[in-house]
Amino acid sequence: MHLALLLCALGALASPLQQQPLLPHLPTPTLKPTPPPYNPSVRPLVLWHGLGDSYASPGMLEFVDMLRDTHEGMFVHSVRINDDLEKDQKAGWFGDLNEQIEQVCEQLLNITELQGGFDAMGFSQGGQFLRAYMQNCNSPPVHNLITFGSQHMGVADIPMCKPGDIWCLLARSAVKRGVYSSYAQHNLVQAQYFRDPKQYDTYLSSNRFLPILNSELPPHTPPPFPLDTLNSLVLIRFTAEQTVNPPVSSHFGSRPPENDTAEIPMREQELYREDWIGLRKLDERGGVFMLMCEGHHMQLEKECWEPIVLRWTGGKREV
Ligand SMILES: *[C@@H]1O[C@H](CO)[C@@H](O)[C@H](O)[C@H]1NC(C)=O
Ligand SMILES: *[C@@H]1O[C@H](CO)[C@@H](O)[C@H](O)[C@H]1NC(C)=O
């Protein structure tokens, strides 16, 4: 099926594996005609696209269609920072994450179909952003949170850019000039989840997003809505991941400062052991699922997404 191919670009942090330029000139939004009337007894779904993508790219629209084919009548909302596709794509590189999350809190609060709660599915960086929504706003509340190839413990390197990907090249060179500078922390999205274990103190004092999301700053005050507020947290990591560094970040792991190949798995993280954000509590009641999908970053084959979509989305909603 050609779908898997299309979805390679979904949520892609720029990867050397993808040779196509990233949607250089986006057409005006081609949103599908009004979908069939939604069924309020099916729990709705909210998607947050990945870097290099937009809320209504051809890949996203096709994925939404597949979701609606799987769960007839399911209401699906695709998060956007800007209604304009090109600006929405750019907002994946440039902007202030705290402001973006706040904007999305207002956006979701305003959608009547979502009242009563929804499942949330984030692609790549969209995964940790939906977690930020959930931990800080959660109104309406998230039932299951599903993240594909996300960076819950940040990234220790910025991915390589495809030739000609101007936003990527600009962002990457700015990050190289100083990832923890005030400019980067207010304007470059990837800098705001850059977590270099070799510069952990600088990360803690300068990063404006991830240390707060993960309650890494003493006294480790839990977020307004800790993760055990969720029904399930589903974390998907790709077997041939080459974009997220380290790949174990998709499973809430990181690297120790002294070894560039070793992994500290989720259950050995201080964040988990001390339970700063409710992750341990959720795990101990069986609510954390760590899955692997075959392929490179965001290579969403049907064998990968379908069982997940069937099990954790489209459930029955009390109305
Ligand atoms: C809320 O919805 C109304 C009506 O659809 C719209 O005019 C307004 O811009 C929305 N506000 C936000 C913050 O999205
Ligand atoms: C780094 O970690 C890898 C994988 O766990 C291990 O095989 C290797 O011996 C470690 N290297 C050092 C210098 O500790």
94 CA from centroid of ligand 1 (Å): 23
In a domain, 19, yes or no: no
Residue whose CA lies nearest to ligand 2 atom number 13? 259
What is the structure's pLDDT at 160?
A: 77
Confidence of residue 12 (pLDDT cuts 50, 70, 90): very low
Question: Is the pLDDT score of 300 beyond 60?
Answer: yes
Secondary structure string (H, E, C) spanning 62-131: HHHHHHHHHCCCCCEEECCCCCCHHHHHHCCCECCHHHHHHHHHHHHHCCHHHCCCEEEEEECHHHHHHH
**Residue 187: exposure state from Cβ atoms within 10 A (0-12, 13-18, ≥19):** middle
In a domain, 23, yes or no: no
Tell me if 13 sits within 8 A of 50, measured CB to CB.
yes
Q: Which ligand is nearest to the CA of 80?
A: 1
93 vs 15, residue with greater confidence:
93
Residue whose CA lies nearest to ligand 2 atom number 3? 262
Confidence of residue 17 (pLDDT cuts 50, 70, 90): very low
Residue whose CA lies nearest to ligand 1 atom number 8? 110
Tell me if 45 sits within 8 A of 76, measured CB to CB.
yes
What is the structure's pLDDT at 10?
A: 34
In a domain, 36, yes or no: no
259 CA from centroid of ligand 2 (Å): 6
114 CA from centroid of ligand 2 (Å): 47
Q: What is the CATH number of the domain that holds 149?
A: 3.40.50.1820
Question: Is the pLDDT score of 248 beyond 70?
Answer: yes
Q: Which ligand is nearest to the CA of 262?
A: 2
Give pTM, 2 decimals: 0.89
DSSP annotation of 190 reads: G
What is the structure's pLDDT at 319?
A: 56
Question: Hey, what are 92's tokens?
Answer: 């994946």
Mutate to test the pocket of ligand 2, among 260, 261, 264 (most ligand atoms within 8 A of CB): 261
In a domain, 296, yes or no: yes
What is the structure's pLDDT at 164?
A: 86
The verdict on the CB of residue 112 being under 6 Å from ligand 1 is no
26 vs 319, residue with greater confidence:
319
Average pLDDT over residues 243-247: 94
Average pLDDT over residues 47-66: 95
How far, in Å, CA of 282 to CA of 227, rounded? Answer: 7
Average pLDDT over residues 222-243: 97
What is the structure's pLDDT at 304?
A: 96
Domain that includes residue 169, residue range: 3-13+43-311
Peptide bond into 246 cis (omega under 30): yes
In a domain, 24, yes or no: no
Q: Which ligand is nearest to the CA of 256?
A: 2
Average pLDDT over residues 292-313: 96
Average pLDDT over residues 229-233: 98
In a domain, 215, yes or no: yes
In a domain, 186, yes or no: yes
What is the structure's pLDDT at 6?
A: 32
What is the total count of domains within the chain? 1
The verdict on the CB of residue 115 being under 6 Å from ligand 2 is no
In a domain, 100, yes or no: yes
